[in-house]
Amino acid sequence: MIPAPFDYHAPASLADAIGLLQLHGDDAKVLSGGQSLLPLLKLRLASAVHLVDIGRIPGLEYLKEEGGYLKIGGRTRESVLERSDLIKTKYPILHDTAIVIADPLVRNRATVGGNLAHADPANDHPATMLALGAEVIATGRNGERTIAINRFFTGLFATALEPGEILTEIRIPIPPPRSGGAYVKLERKVGDFATAAAAAQLTLGANGAIERAGIGLTSAGPTPIKAVDAERFLIGTTPDRETIAEAARLAARAASPSPDRRGSVEYKREMARVLTARALTKAVERARGN
């Protein structure tokens, strides 16, 4: 399959890329790793008159802790996340996520920023970032602005990014001691989108009660879902089987999945419940180990 014709641009700087996006408006699309966009262009489910490849712009791929945040460059490939010792040891929820995105070959090109900016509710990073309370840095003509992740996903494949803005960084608050998180995904086979998946990130107080809870759901509606009722319920509780079961029930109630070959609405909602319970259980274990 061959994409419909387009003009390709490979700007060498962020300013040039933003200029091109402004010049071409809706006719332009940002090409990052291309692992979602190129298949869509080949299948002709998407079209672009201009592709602006941000792959030649230096300085957009990094992982670093700075100023109280883990900062992930927008063009950081999933394989970099997957192989990072910092991520493996300190942010296991991100390692859990990276290793189940598509397959290892795709992860050698797919980027974290692309996974978020594409805003497919079946993508894996959105739920994780919702659980972690991340922020997204959008860079445009007037410089940078910060968008809270819970305001980033505005609809199916739609985000709060303005035309002419590029997602340049993801910022995750460095979790305090006694924090832990996990991402658990049900997929039919490697490379498939999630039938259902849940991300959970918790911080426990010195007395063992939950101080902060973040829960995100994948493939659970037209946008990635933040399970706020479940999060609220957990605050102040000491996590055990019963509280986790109740939180998982509340999370599943926030899910409004659509039926497809992966399952019915009822099945997917039930899987959201089961996977939320598993993610919470693992998150508690990891938080107690920290």
Partner 1 sequence: MSKHNIRVTINGALHEAQVDSRLLLVHFLRDQLGLTGTHIGCDTTHCGACTVVVDLEPVKSCTMLAVQADGSAIITVEGLERDGQLHPLQEGFWHEHGLQCGFCTPGMLMTAYGLLGRTATPSEPEIRHAISGNLCRCTGYVNIVKSIQYAAARPR
Residue 32 as a binder of partner 1 (CB under 8 A): the answer is no
Residue 160 as a binder of partner 1 (CB under 8 A): the answer is no
Q: Which of 12, 25, 42, 258 binds partner 1 (CB under 8 A)?
A: 42
Q: Which of 19, 22, 46, 55 binds partner 1 (CB under 8 A)?
A: 55
Stretch that binds partner 1, among 39-47, 112-120, 149-157, 277-285 (CB under 8 A): 39-47
Closer CB to partner 1, residue 111 or residue 179?
Answer: 111
Q: Which of 29, 30, 34, 166 binds partner 1 (CB under 8 A)?
A: 34
> What minimum distance in Å lies between the beta carbon of 191 and partner 1?
6
**Which residues, numbered 186-245, are part of the site for partner 1 (CB under 8 A)?**
190-191
Q: Which of 210, 209, 184 is nearest to 199 (CA)?
A: 184
> What minimum distance in Å lies between the beta carbon of 50 and partner 1?
9
Residue 8 as a binder of partner 1 (CB under 8 A): the answer is yes
Residue pair 139/159 in contact by the 8 Å Cβ criterion:
no
Residue 158 as a binder of partner 1 (CB under 8 A): the answer is no
Residue 84 as a binder of partner 1 (CB under 8 A): the answer is no
Residue 35 as a binder of partner 1 (CB under 8 A): the answer is yes
Stretch that binds partner 1, among 105-113, 131-139, 224-232, 240-248 (CB under 8 A): 105-113
Alpha-carbon span 185 to 15, nearest angstrom: 38
What secondary structure, in 3-state letters, does the chain show? CCCCCCEEECCCCHHHHHHHHHHHHHHEEEECCCCCHHHHHHCCCCCCCEEEEHHHCCCCCCEEEECCEEEEECCCEHHHHHHCHHHHHHCHHHHHHHCCCCCHHHHCCCEHHHHHHCCCCCCCHHHHHHHHCCEEEEEECCEEEEEEHHHCEEECCEECCCCCCEEEEEEEECCCCCEEEEEEEECCCCCCCCCEEEEEEEEECCCCCEEEEEEEEECCCCCCEECHHHHHHHCCCCCCHHHHHHHHHHHHHHCCCCCECCECHHHHHHHHHHHHHHHHHHHHHHHHHC
Number of residues forming the site for partner 1 (CB under 8 A): 31
> What minimum distance in Å lies between the beta carbon of 230 and partner 1?
32
Residue 92 as a binder of partner 1 (CB under 8 A): the answer is no
Stretch that binds partner 1, among 59-67, 97-105, 134-142, 228-236 (CB under 8 A): 97-105
Which residues are at the interface with partner 1 (CB under 8 A)?
1-10, 31, 34-35, 38-39, 41-43, 51, 53, 55, 79, 102-106, 108-109, 190-191
